[in-house]
Structure 1
Amino acid sequence: MHWDQLPAKWIMGYSDISVLLLAVTLTTGLATAHGANLIDQRGEYADQTTGIWEEVLSLKAGESITQYSSPYYQKEWDHDHPSPCIFHLTEPTSWKLIAQNETVQINGRLLGGCIDVIRHLIGTPYGQVKDFQNRYINGEPIIWYLENCELNTVDMRRSLVQMKLAGWFDNCAGLLFGRSAVHLPVDHYTEEDLFSELYEELKLPIVYDIDCGHVPPQITFVNGAYAEIEAGNGKGKVREVFIP
């Protein structure tokens, strides 16, 4: 791929596509959008969290937008019972914290995606996080948003250790983890154990069960955008600013 010839054009999606999104942003400095795939937009209407993607991608340099945690999320997929809104949002959303405080605020530049696939960029020319920080965002700290499709808690723990040892969490302001249907205990090792251990190691704010990934709906996160994150009492707010 001729990276220097890529047009300044939006690429948006999640899951496997997020490995392309992150590689493009890290390598070229171009912003990319982690949000609903095209197939998730085929209903007669969209929920408010999903539907804001077009407004996010219409922002110009210097403009900002604020997105909020969803009221409800979809517990499981039900393709046999289509509805005017693609998602069946029935379960109350609750953003959870691993921290000593009841609320957290995190500021930095967004990077992330589906941990199942973006971890494979480590050690390649397309996963140079420090180079991206120095070259494109003046050394500003990173806010990592990560979501999990198929990894159990032990596999995810190993992946996070690899990311840490590769320096991806150096100069990091905090971590956000999406809801996952596969965070089941392995030999009593739970997602709470995983996130608590990571918090003790990194001493960084950690928010989980956010609106991101395979358990919809999901906020549109723009790789490279400056963000201000607020979370507490089960709610969350994401303000993104398109800094040139």
Structure 2
Amino acid sequence: MTIRFPKKLCPDDVIAITAPSMGVPASLHTRLDLAIDVLKSRKYRVLEGQCLRAVNKNKSAVRTLRATELSDFLLNAEINAVMPPWGGELAMELLELIDFEGLAQVKPKWFSGFSDLSTLHFPLTLICGWATLHGPNLMELGSKERDVTTEAIWLILEGERGEVVEQFSSPAYQTEGSDWREQPDAGFNLTHKTEWKRLDGSTLPMEFKGRLIGGCIETISRLAGTRFGDVPKFCEQHKQDGVILYFENAEMAPCELTRTLLSLKMHGWFDGVAGVLFGRSAAPAVTDPTLQNYHDALESALGDLSIPVLYDVDIGHVPPQLSLVNGAMAKVRYFDKGGMVAQLLE
């Protein structure tokens, strides 16, 4: 399958906003409005959907309305990008209501975000062949000041085709976030030094390359063995280029993470891949040395792989995070306890 990249975003383009998973409650509308103001400040026109500014039973609306609105936005030739406010938990309700085979026949557009949005990134890339952007959610763009890692989303969305976009490891990451209800324009509290790590314990430089595919492990792991998450097929289609798998963990405890990774291993997700990236874990840390911890989970499931595995990378629910393009050719370099990801916008 050929990966098709959307055209770059330009002034006067239309960005549609819908919440295919959880909507935005009234207490956070100010933050949402600030994020929308950022889009308008970059000269984009904004189209708000009806499934956006409400929450009931963990979602913005019933599944049929959410699926219809998202499908309409993705099919509408006048819309250039779809940027949901954030993820949630129930995007999986939409999968069998969306005609992904039909979307495969139309021009791609940017679909961006992370968390539960990975549930939609996967079929858009694996079935439709669209390049999709796994990176900061729209709500994270509403801060008064934004760090360079978060701002790199625009290098992707506004990048020229054929351009190579390089992103480097962040200087620091956040462990405790601000309450957007009390501080609607708050940015990240980047207080802890970033340190990418090799699973094999070495600190020597290394490099690997391949096509990126990945997302939130809680959601994409549920797609293993279905047509919505056929990673082995993607790896076979792109075996000449190689594949880099990446994951981020929102809340899985170490033992559950171990079981999940072993299950994906049995599904063939790691067969023939060139390397694996794991983001910093957002699950509660296990400090008792007699119990399985995050590193133990990775070592238990993946320690026998003869490929590079990096963890504590800038991906996911512990910000800031890189903007990674599913389907893009990428080169990953590890050095000086940090690194760089270079992606080709084809």
TM-score, normalized by length of structure 1? 0.92
Deviation at 1:233, TM superposition (A): 2.5
2:297 corresponds to which of 194, 200, 203: 194
SS in 1 for 2:177: coil
For residues 76-87 of structure 1, what are the structure 2 equivalents within 5 Å? Answer: 76-79=176-179, 82=183, 84-87=185-188
SS in 2 for 1:201: coil
Cross-structure match for 1:233: 336
Cross-structure match for 1:116: 218
Distance in 2 between the 1:44 and 1:67 partners? 22
Distance in 1 between the 2:284 and 2:264 partners? 19
Cross-structure match for 2:27: none
Cα deviation, 1:199-223, whole Å, max 9, x if unaligned, reads 4321221111111111000000000
Deviation at 1:188, TM superposition (A): 1.4
Alignment size in residue pairs: 242
Q: Which amino acid aligns with 2:199?
A: I
Q: Does 2:157 align with 1:54? A: no
Kindly indicate whether the alpha-carbon contact (under 8 Å) linking 1:183 and 1:190 is maintained by their aligned counterparts in 2. Answer: no
Q: Which amino acid aligns with 1:158?
A: R
Distance in 2 between the 1:156 and 1:100 partners? 20
Kindly indicate whether the alpha-carbon contact (under 8 Å) linking 2:258 and 2:300 is maintained by their aligned counterparts in 1. Answer: no
Kindly indicate whether the alpha-carbon contact (under 8 Å) linking 1:47 and 1:85 is maintained by their aligned counterparts in 2. Answer: no
Distance in 1 between the 2:111 and 2:242 partners? 23
Deviation at 1:2, TM superposition (A): 2.1
1:163 corresponds to which of 235, 257, 264: 264
Distance in 2 between the 1:5 and 1:58 partners? 26
Q: Does 2:273 align with 1:172? A: yes
Cross-structure match for 2:75: none
Change (3 A) 1:134 1:61: farther
For residues 209-220 of structure 1, what are the structure 2 equivalents within 5 Å? Answer: 209-220=312-323
Change (3 A) 1:138 1:28: farther
SS in 2 for 1:208: strand
Kindly indicate whether the alpha-carbon contact (under 8 Å) linking 2:212 and 2:326 is maintained by their aligned counterparts in 1. Answer: yes
Cross-structure match for 2:251: 150
Cross-structure match for 1:133: 235
1:5 corresponds to which of 58, 80, 102: 102
Cross-structure match for 1:65: 165
Q: Does 2:208 align with 1:106? A: yes
Deviation at 1:134, TM superposition (A): 3.9
SS in 2 for 1:172: coil
Deviation at 1:189, TM superposition (A): 1.0
More strand by percentage: 1
Distance in 1 between the 2:299 and 2:231 partners? 24
Distance in 1 between the 2:280 and 2:182 partners? 23
Distance in 1 between the 2:113 and 2:221 partners? 17
Deviation at 1:98, TM superposition (A): 1.4
SS in 2 for 1:20: helix
Change (3 A) 1:198 1:204: farther
Structure 1 consecutive aligned stretches of length 4 or more whose deviation exceeds 3 Å = none
Distance in 2 between the 1:75 and 1:66 partners? 25
Structure 1 vs Structure 2: percent identity of aligned residues? 37
Change (3 A) 1:206 1:138: closer
Kindly indicate whether the alpha-carbon contact (under 8 Å) linking 2:142 and 2:185 is maintained by their aligned counterparts in 1. Answer: no
Q: Which amino acid aligns with 2:102?
A: Q
Q: Which amino acid aligns with 1:2?
A: D
SS in 2 for 1:196: helix
| Structure label with greater radius of gyration | 2
Distance in 1 between the 2:194 and 2:250 partners? 19
Change (3 A) 1:4 1:61: farther
Kindly indicate whether the alpha-carbon contact (under 8 Å) linking 1:18 and 1:118 is maintained by their aligned counterparts in 2. Answer: yes
Distance in 2 between the 1:140 and 1:227 partners? 10
Aligned residues: CA RMSD: 1.9
SS in 2 for 1:119: helix
1 or 2 for the larger relative contact order (CA 8 Å, sep ≥6)? 1
Distance in 2 between the 1:190 and 1:100 partners? 16
Task: Give ranges in structure 2 of 5+ residues lacking alignment.
Answer: 1-97
Deviation at 1:124, TM superposition (A): 0.9
